Amino acid sequence: MDLVPIPYAPLPIKLRDNRQYVNYLPKQPIISIMQDMNKKQRYERQIVLPEIGQKGQKKISNASVLCIGAGGLGCPALLYLVAAGVGHVGIVDFDTVDETNLQRQVLFTVDQIGQNKAVAAKERLNALNSEIKIQAYAEELNDKNAEDLFRQYDIIIDGTDNFSAKFLINDVAVKIGKPFVYASILGFDGQVAVFNYDGGPCYRCLFPEAPKTYVPNCAEAGVIGAVAGMIGTAQAMEALKIIVGHDSFQPLAGKLWTIDMHSMENKLLSLPKNLDCPTCSQAKDKITLQYSSSVCGVIPEVTPEQAKKNEGALIIDVRETEEWGAGHIHDAKHIALSTLMQGTIPDLPTDCEIILYCQKGKRGEHAAQILKTQGYLNVNNMVGGYEAWLSDHSPPVEKKTSRNI
């Protein structure tokens, strides 16, 4: 090992025969040498793989990955990315840990219930690997903050469960040139793909827009934790394949891997690039970002008095047919919540406010969540529902026109 004098006043070393020698240190500081030795020992089980090696491990240590969502997909993906030594990991999640999450979101413990997920995940991941940089963003990803966040990372992991978020992730990734690893789970089914990578298609090449039929999320349709674990782990592997870039690795760019865990039957489908794609066929500076929050609790609310004064609004009764028949708001339209939940989504106007109501307000909020996932940004819920409307004695404003749906 080459030796050089230390760059400050040398300290003499006195030996037994009273001779003195100037202290010398290796070019690389001792602490750095020890850190490298610790890293080699920590990651030796993957370094020994010829596809990884020291060169691949250095790439992993220098890489940065942003995970959107620390839920059923994000938790296993984050665990394996951090364990592998990805040097910089970001976690975006506005939500808090709930007891129902513990069945599949394996990062969290009972004593973290009520904590923000991004912060709680960072705490657990730091305990797993304190040598890397982990950042928690306790906020919702939206069209205002997404670009700034994405620019700080090499790869994006999609751990979300709604179309609005997935479209935003895709559009930002295409706009600023970042690959993202997509996944989706429902019941016993899962799918994984890599979009916007190596000239491959983007998410909108597969889904140009949200389906007209309502697709329930895991809270409504259910999911078993092992499905989330398997699919989230596959996302971590795809990210590591992109980072290391070994010739034998074939990331799922232009491919969609699906699996039915009832039978473990899986398929690998080819995804061609859509030359008429509404996003990746455009110039990057022409891509506009839109986002409709699907966060429970952020549905705008109006009072019956405000609803009565809004002469241009479309008012929709989401109660069942029997309730509608027993009495309803004059000029309101009827679309039962059960109809929306079955996937029948009517074409609604986007040039006016839509006010939903039920009997007391809860079903109206649920219906609003469904419509927001379908891209309707103009949806409101009337607090107190029809009962509050009947109790409010303010006179309604006469509507100029009746809107058809």
Measured in degrees and rounded to the nearest 5, phi and psi for residue 117 equal -65, -40
> H or E segment at 66?
strand 64-68
Half-sphere exposure of 114 (CA within 13 A, CB side): 2
Domain boundary among 286, 312, 340: 286
Q: Do 324 and 264 share a structural domain?
A: no
**Residue 332 covered by a domain:** yes
**Residue 111 covered by a domain:** yes
Query: Mean pLDDT over residues 44-54, rounded?
Result: 96
- When mean pLDDT is compared over 17-31, 136-150, 387-401, the highest value belongs to 136-150
**Residue 291 covered by a domain:** no
Q: Looking at residue 183, what is its pLDDT?
A: 97
**Residue 137 covered by a domain:** yes
Q: Do 322 and 184 share a structural domain?
A: no
Kindly indicate the confidence band of residue 404, based on its pLDDT and cuts at 50, 70 and 90: low
Q: Looking at residue 170, what is its pLDDT?
A: 97
Query: CATH code at 309?
Result: 3.40.250.10
Q: Which DSSP symbol is given to 112?
A: G
Q: Do 90 and 194 share a structural domain?
A: yes
**pLDDT tens per residue across span 231-245:** 999 999 999 999 999
Q: Looking at residue 366, what is its pLDDT?
A: 85
**Residue 293 covered by a domain:** no
Query: CATH code at 249?
Result: 3.40.50.720
Q: Of 182, 193, 168, 202, which is closest to residue 273 (Cα–Cα)?
A: 202
Rounded percentage of the chain residues whose pLDDT exceeds 90:
68
Q: Do 15 and 50 share a structural domain?
A: no
Q: Do 259 and 175 share a structural domain?
A: yes
C-alpha span between 326 and 30 (Å, rounded): 82
Q: Which domain holds residue 30?
A: 3-34
Burial of 352 (0-12, 13-18, 19+ CB in 10 A): middle
Q: Do 245 and 334 share a structural domain?
A: no
**Residue 280 covered by a domain:** yes
Residues catalogued as catalytic: 218, 358
Domain boundary among 229, 255, 286: 286
Half-sphere exposure of 209 (CA within 13 A, CB side): 7
**pLDDT tens per residue across span 284-343:** 999 999 887 655 446 889 999 999 999 889 999 999 999 999 999 999 999 999 888 877
Per residue, the 3-state secondary structure of 208-272, as one string, reads CCCCCCCCCCHHHHCECHHHHHHHHHHHHHHHHHHHHCCCCCCCCECEEEEEECCCCEEEEEECC
Kindly indicate the confidence band of residue 11, based on its pLDDT and cuts at 50, 70 and 90: very low
Domains contained in the chain, number: 3
**Residue 87 covered by a domain:** yes
Q: Do 252 and 163 share a structural domain?
A: yes
**pLDDT tens per residue across span 178-225:** 999 999 998 999 999 999 999 999 999 999 987 766 566 676 678 899
Q: Looking at residue 338, what is its pLDDT?
A: 87
Q: Do 26 and 121 share a structural domain?
A: no
**Residue 396 covered by a domain:** no
